[in-house]
């Protein structure tokens, strides 16, 4: 009797563990995995997206490479890593070093490469898009409006200075 109770306990624990892990799979990821014919726990979402693209383009070399990367189980951390640091999978697809570009830059770079848009490719690779704009050279609508009322060049004054000039002109000082 004791052996039967122990067997039932072990089986129920195993079944509940299986149900918990089955519930943790995102339905979208499961659908993507089914559409490319792989297990949702063996690949990251990024790998499955690359696999779908490679299958669509009939790129046998890419398909074989991605399938060779299968793991016993992929954790959530593996999926989020692609999104956080410019991910290895997207960087691999773009042909650049992982961690050098944001996910957005990598997606734009891959699209530019697919479209053979050399100007966009050069722009993204140069890092020019990361150069901060000179906030002092940007004239806001509020600055333009106040400057027009005062008859001055908005680029010559900050918003605070324009507000002070406006207040002085209203008070007559």
Whether residue 51 is found in the same domain as residue 17: yes
Residue 89 lies in a domain: no
Higher pLDDT among residues 64 and 9, named by residue:
64
Whether residue 7 is found in the same domain as residue 74: yes
Residue 145 lies in a domain: yes
Render the burial of 102-133: b for 16+ CB within 10 Å, e for the rest: bbebbebbbebbeeeeeebbeebbeeeeeeee
Whether residue 60 is found in the same domain as residue 115: no
Average pLDDT over residues 117-146: 78
Domain residue limits at 101: 94-131
Residue 57 lies in a domain: yes
Per-residue pLDDT tens digits for 150-168: 888 888 888 888 888 888 8
Whether residue 73 is found in the same domain as residue 114: no
Per-residue pLDDT tens digits for 76-125: 444 444 444 445 788 888 888 887 888 888 888 888 999 999 998 998 89
Computed from CA positions of residues 70, 74, 78, 83, in that sequence, does the dihedral angle turn out positive or negative?
Answer: positive
pTM for the predicted model, two decimal places: 0.34
Whether residue 157 is found in the same domain as residue 110: no
Is residue 120 within 8 A of residue 100, CB to CB? The reply is no
Is residue 146 within 8 A of residue 154, CB to CB? The reply is yes
């Amino acid at each position: 009797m004791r052996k039967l109770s122990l067997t039932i306990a072990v089986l129920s624990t195993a079944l509940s563990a299986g149900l918990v892990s089955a519930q943790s799979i995102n339905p979208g990821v499961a659908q993507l995995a089914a559409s490319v014919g792989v297990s949702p726990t063996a690949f990251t979402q990024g790998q499955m997206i690359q696999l779908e693209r490679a299958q669509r383009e009939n790129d046998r070399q890419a398909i074989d490479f991605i399938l060779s990367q299968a793991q016993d189980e992929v954790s959530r951390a593996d999926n989020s890593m692609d999104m956080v640091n410019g991910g290895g999978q997207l960087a691999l697809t773009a042909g650049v070093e992982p961690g050098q570009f944001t996910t957005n830059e990598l997606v734009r770079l891959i699209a530019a490469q697919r479209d053979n848009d050399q100007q966009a490719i050069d722009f993204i690779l140069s890092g020019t898009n990361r150069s901060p704009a000179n906030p002092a050279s940007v004239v806001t609508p509020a600055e333009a409006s106040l400057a027009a009322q005062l008859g001055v060049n908005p680029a010559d004054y900050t918003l605070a200075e324009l507000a002070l000039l406006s207040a002085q002109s209203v008070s007559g000082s």
